[in-house]
Structure 1
Amino acid sequence: MKQKPNDEQDKQTEFISGRHPVLAALESERPVNKIFLQKGIQPSFAAKIEKLAKQRKIIISRVPKTKLDELTKQQNHQGVLLTLAAYQYADLNEILQQTTQHHQDPFLLILDNIEDPHNLGSIMRTADAAGVTGIIIPQRRAVQLTATVAKTSTGAIEHVPVARVSNLVQTVKQLKKENFWIFGTDMAGQDYRQWNAQGPVALIIGNEGKGISPLLKAQCDQLLTIPMIGHVQSLNASVAAGLLIYQGFTSRGN
């Protein structure tokens, strides 16, 4: 799905490094400005990059490893880097219209102030694998779509539309008017293994430390919990999201 640009994003540039994220970006419709390819890189991989670059008429710059180390601030770039326009966000109404056109019940994720880009990237990777319709994030006080998110998602960022909204509570209220069932997580909720996610649903994943905000939790039709019998009574946000997403995936007959 094409994601809509905004004026602020048009002025920004992103770097993407790593073989899987770079290939995913080149195979998508995103406008790529330039490719930096490490000298002496594996010939078969270089040939794949060159073929995609030729198809899209993108300039390749052959550079030493030290140049890529500098551009990526010593990150593991795997010998390749792209420069391209900053990631753009989808329109929520268009996400919903597309599912209607395909006669599918939407399965949305709402991320309540997720702060760690690695968590967002991992959640996107699971969302893509499980066929999640789209992700909703707030405009403020939360991680946005960045190069770190892109690399962690290993290309999923090119396939899972992300809508950015100014007020999550108002967005949830609007979804409820459109017959969505809203689910969230809470220690006192129902065992997530009993969750039936059929129909139009939205699942809220809370902040890494604070969980779901009280105002948003009050909008949930049902709360879910992940039973834990060990000494640590909490899970990483992306791990918890993965368990819940796949329970939803299974209960929807997939």
Structure 2
Amino acid sequence: MSVNPTGKDPGSEDLVFGKNAVKAVLDSLPEHCSVVLVSEKMATNEREQFLETCKRAGVRWQLVHPSRIDRICPGGRHQGIIAKMLPVALTDLESFLKGLDPVWGPSLIVLVDHLQDPQNLGAIARSAEVFGADGMIVPRRRSVLPTSTVMRTSSGAIARVPVVGVVNVVRALEEFKGNGFWVVGLDHSKGK
């Protein structure tokens, strides 16, 4: 079961831009991608690779004038490509725990609490992926949730590492401990 993490209208779209982030969306979450806008000015070989990836993934694409992409995503950080996608849904804890396979050995889960900066969540998602984390846990309230900024700063890792939304972090930790997990905590507070 998945839930809408943002509270947005399920029909609303989020923008993911930049070559790595869009590639991650096409590779990991093509069903959430409604259309990819590709600049006519993108280098031919790169453009053709993206269009071929869109075709393989069954994602609509449009070749557009660079000014259209600049209007949608001002600042030029789009690298000539934008994906319009529905928000990434969070997985619920029960489904996530059922999906873990002990045959593959111990699981690494990263839990973040009270994180407000989407760039920090993106950096943590990148690290979690590199360290082979099986998932990330985020509170549904008072914390940043997966957005296009997180997608971009994580270089798409947030699409490849399952994200579980929980209402109560303490209860989630107890649930993990009850399922045989060891819990190790880090706190940025110095001397406490």
TM-score range, shorter chain: 0.7 to 0.9
Tell me how far 1:101 sits from its aligned partner. Answer: 5.1
After TM superposition, the structure 1 = structure 2 runs for residues 26-105 of structure 1, keeping only pairs within 5 Å, are: 26-31=26-31, 32-100=33-101, 102-105=103-106
Tell me how far 1:58 sits from its aligned partner. Answer: 2.8
User: After the TM superposition, which parts of structure 1 deviate over 4 Å for at least 4 consecutive aligned residues?
Assistant: none
After TM superposition, the structure 1 = structure 2 runs for residues 1-254 of structure 1, keeping only pairs within 5 Å, are: 4-6=2-4, 8=7, 10-31=10-31, 32-100=33-101, 102-186=103-187, 211=189
Secondary structure of the corresponding residue to residue 83 of structure 1: strand
Please say if residues 30 and 58 of structure 2, whose CA atoms lie closer than 8 Å, have aligned partners that are also in contact. no
1:241 alignment partner in structure 2: none
Please say if residues 129 and 157 of structure 2, whose CA atoms lie closer than 8 Å, have aligned partners that are also in contact. yes
For normalisation by structure 2, the TM-score amounts to: 0.88
Tell me how far 1:75 sits from its aligned partner. Answer: 4.8
User: CA separation of 1:34/1:179 partners in 2, compared to 1, >3 Å: closer, same or farther?
Assistant: same
For normalisation by structure 1, the TM-score amounts to: 0.68
What is the identity percentage for the equivalent residue pairs of Structure 1 and Structure 2?
27
Tell me how far 1:136 sits from its aligned partner. Answer: 0.6
Please say if residues 95 and 133 of structure 1, whose CA atoms lie closer than 8 Å, have aligned partners that are also in contact. no
Query: Bigger shift: 88-97 or 116-125?
Result: 88-97
Please say if residues 21 and 155 of structure 1, whose CA atoms lie closer than 8 Å, have aligned partners that are also in contact. yes
Count residues with an aligned counterpart: 188
Higher relative contact order (CA 8 A, sep 6+): 2
1:190 alignment partner in structure 2: none
Give distance in 1, aligned partners of 2:72 and 2:83.
Answer: 10
Tell me how far 1:131 sits from its aligned partner. Answer: 0.4
Which structure is larger by alpha-carbon Rg, 1 or 2?
1
Task: Report Cα offsets for 1:206-234 as digits up to 9, x if no partner.
Answer: 6xxxx5xxxxxxxxxxxxxxxxxxxxx79
Amino acid paired to 2:119? H
Give distance in 1, aligned partners of 2:136 and 2:94.
Answer: 12
Tell me how far 1:66 sits from its aligned partner. Answer: 2.3
User: CA separation of 1:102/1:181 partners in 2, compared to 1, >3 Å: closer, same or farther?
Assistant: same
Task: Report Cα offsets for 1:10-69 as digits up to 9, x if no partner.
Answer: 233111100011111111243211111111210111111111122234332222222212
Give distance in 2, aligned partners of 1:55 and 1:64.
Answer: 23
User: CA separation of 1:56/1:185 partners in 2, compared to 1, >3 Å: closer, same or farther?
Assistant: closer
Tell me how far 1:176 sits from its aligned partner. Answer: 2.0
Give distance in 2, aligned partners of 1:53 and 1:87.
Answer: 18
Give distance in 1, aligned partners of 2:99 and 2:58.
Answer: 30
Secondary structure of the corresponding residue to residue 95 of structure 1: helix
Give distance in 2, aligned partners of 1:149 and 1:83.
Answer: 15
Give distance in 1, aligned partners of 2:58 and 2:118.
Answer: 31
